[in-house]
Amino acid sequence: MTDSLTLQFADIETDVLTGIYSEETGKPQPLRITIDVHIRPQQRYEPDTTLDASKNYMDLKHAATEALPEGVHFKLIEAVADHICETLFLQDARIHAITVKIVKLAIAVDNEKIGITLHRERP
């Protein structure tokens, strides 16, 4: 059996230029993003283990917010998820898989969760 470690940053809310319909284009839409990053863990984590033995959670938030290019319109939220995956893969070679879940908040009427989940493994 192989151990695995999943780091998660859940429910990051950010505005992104996305959408294909005329009422969506030209203005940012609120998205809720959850990121799971899968890395191979150390054999053991002692109480004094330093952060470099894992991944900084704030890197996940950064990939879903500041690392998204300003002024770029993503027609599909799948493209937003793809950009987040590529950003994280470039940051850290220890990441072997990423799952990004995006919910489009602006189109929910009765608290539905309308969106996508992209799971990408390192090529």
pLDDT of amino acid 61: 96
Residue 26 DSSP SS3: coil
pLDDT at 110 (0 to 100): 84
Give the pLDDT of residue 80.
Answer: 98
Cβ-proximal residues to 120 (8 Å cutoff; 6+ apart), any chain = 82, 85, 89, 97, 98, 99, 100
- For residue 1, the one-letter residue type is M
Along the 123 residues of the chain, how does pLDDT read in single tens digits?
A: 588 899 999 999 999 999 888 777 888 999 999 999 999 888 888 999 998 888 899 999 999 999 999 999 999 999 999 999 999 999 999 999 999 999 999 887 788 889 999 999 998
CA distance 64 to 41: 23
Q: What is the pLDDT of residue 1?
A: 55
pTM, whole model, 2 decimals? 0.92
DSSP H helices in 1-123: 57-64, 77-91
| Structure confidence at residue 10 (pLDDT) | 97
Here the tokens at position 119 are 């799971």
Domains (ranges, CATH) in the chain? Answer: 5-121 (3.30.1130.10)
